[in-house]
Amino acid sequence: MSTEDEDLAKAIALSLQETSRTSGTSSVIDLDSGDDDDARFEEELRRAMQASQAESSQTHARSREREPQLSGSGTGQHKDLELAPSERSATSIFLSERAQLEKERMERLKRLRPQSTQESTAEDDDSESEDPPAKRHQVSTSRSSFIRSNLPGISSAKSVPADEQTFWNGELRQTATMHAEPRKDGQPTFRLTDVLGKRSEMAFAIMSSYALDFPWIYHFFESSVPVIMVAQPDASGQAEIKNVLPNWIRTTPHLPGGRGCQHMKFMLLFYKSGRLRVVISTANLISYDWKDMENSVWLQDIPLRSKPVPHDPKATDDFAAALQRVLLGVNVKAALQAMLIDHSKLPLQSIEELRQKWDWSNVKAQLVSSLAGKHEGWPRVIQTGHPRLMSVVRKIGMRTGEGSRAKNLILECQGSSMGVYTTQWLNEFYCSANGESAEKWLDRSKKSREKDPYPSIKILFPTKTTVQNSASGEKGGGTIFCRRKQWVAKNFPRSHFYDSKSKAGPVLMHSKMIIARLEERFSGHQKPSGNKSNDSDSDIEVVEPALGWAYIGSHNFTPSAWGNLSGTAFNPVLNISNYELGVVFLLKTAKEVDHIACFQRPPKKYTSSDEPWIQEESAYHQAD
């Protein structure tokens, strides 16, 4: 294991110790509920345990060959996990593991008080050579006003309860936070209960998160609902499936050498009505990310077809196909097979049914994923990381082109972790963001690439002053990563840094967003006018081309998230450290650009006295 990952493991362990040390971790705070929810959750968990015990006695009568091995390692990268016979029933395994969890849970419930406390967790610092300190999440000291208030709703359908809203055309919003409620810009927000929808209507869920609080997220579901959770592997990096809660299975993908992280944040929510909701977000499944820190959420509801369609082997690059590749890559197939043993009537019987049973024709967003590992050859390389972004940019008609007709691409890249930036990597990424293949770039010598100037990229990261002046101050900067060594590195593009400030108010952001704008679109050509030159043109409507595109998702703007290209133009090699997921969609007007951006625009460039927020130099985090 690398030094980076050893330190990450230590950080996670430190955070877990801190969580158990604090009195009454806020793991059961429901933003929609009163104080009696703690008692309700305890009762539900007690009933779930009774149900599991009853199921255990029934399971012993079954044939042991029918039971899967729910805790085991994958044999290779992105391979299906073998389901070997188990010496004990799955429920028995669960009960023995759950006993200790339940004991600890009851102890926390006894200590729970209205005054919330500090919650700690760890998430990756996506830089390639820097080691992340433990993330310190400072939870608010008050539970009342934010939890009980009505946050800004959906202006177009105020009469419909938020958890019953449907979004057939897709919707992007920032999450509600207690530090900016209502939002300064007046835009509607998503709460976790809005995203999940009506609790009683949930039939099945597949979710993914890096940082996880299982008891907290379990509280939002009926105990009978089956859930598959994609999570971070242990230090070995081996793929594994395991029971963790009643009707919940935890699955982890393979991480080569135990390096990197499973950083995707997504949900596939299946409802009893047949509707499927796809959610891509930047928020971990912990209370802090849905209450104190601002995040971004894109979601769309997908209708059930009147009848399934046959498999189409030619459909390999649309949203459904890309999503199916993601699920295979993060070991959901094995988890689904295991889940079907005791839940034979799941709305999804196989990953291939996603396209066959649901109608994706109204989805305009494009899915972009990163799958950890080494990818060699164009057919594989183009499906993941920033080469996948390149293919998507072409697909939506945003390729900038070359020569006199080339358009100027301006990128505004915002995130919560700073990477190790070289002119080679920034130009490599910029090439893909232009929709241009890296073939010509790879044909050049490495030495010549090192002499290239930095491209038109604005890197948005909060200054130290911005963090200090936020509602939570330095205590809230525990999930924002930059290291002094990165910032002072020779030839580091410090002149390309801009302050990252939320439009909502004095709140810090955990969002990851790229705003891409094409300028001088009509350079050297006459811009079309609205004048009608003759009768034959009178019925022709002049449609302005799109202004650019936006990305939101789990990718920080780092090589670990988007990948590093090497090899040759004939045989490229892409190495990626993390599993990441996001969506790309068109931006048609300047007004839409300003509306979609989570940060204040135009962003303010760092002055000579500005420095980025560096957590390790904070007196608060050093003392912590």
Cα separation, 497 vs 373, in Å, equals 30
SS3 (DSSP) at 137: strand
CB 262 within 8 A of CB 253: yes
According to the annotation, is 512 in a ligand binding site? yes
Which listed residue (179, 254, 375, 510) is catalytic? Answer: 510
Instruction: Tokens for 6, please give them.
Output: 């050893």
Tell me whether residue 510 is one of the annotated catalytic residues.
yes
CB 457 within 8 A of CB 431: no
Cα separation, 183 vs 231, in Å, equals 32
The DSSP call for residue 82 is: P
Give the list of residues 6+ apart from residue 429 with CB closer than 8 angstroms, or none. Answer: 386, 457, 562
Tell me whether residue 219 is one of the annotated catalytic residues.
no
Q: Which helix (H) or strand (E) holds 378?
A: helix 378-381
CB 68 within 8 A of CB 88: no
* Range list of β-strands (E), 219-289: 227-230, 240-245, 248-252, 266-271, 276-281
Q: How many other CB atoms sit within 10 Å of the CB of residue 527? A: 9
Q: How many other CB atoms sit within 10 Å of the CB of residue 313? A: 6
Cα separation, 508 vs 293, in Å, equals 6
Residue that is written with structure tokens 């920033």 in the block: 386
With CA atoms as reference, report the closest residue to 516 among 420, 434, 615.
434
Which listed residue (219, 263, 386, 496) is catalytic? Answer: 263
Instruction: Tokens for 612, please give them.
Output: 């980025």
Cα separation, 49 vs 64, in Å, equals 22
The DSSP call for residue 509 is: B
Rg of the chain taking only CA atoms, in angstroms? 24
Residues with a known catalytic role? 263, 510
* Residue list, annotated binding site: 265, 512
* Residue list, annotated binding site for substrate: 265, 512
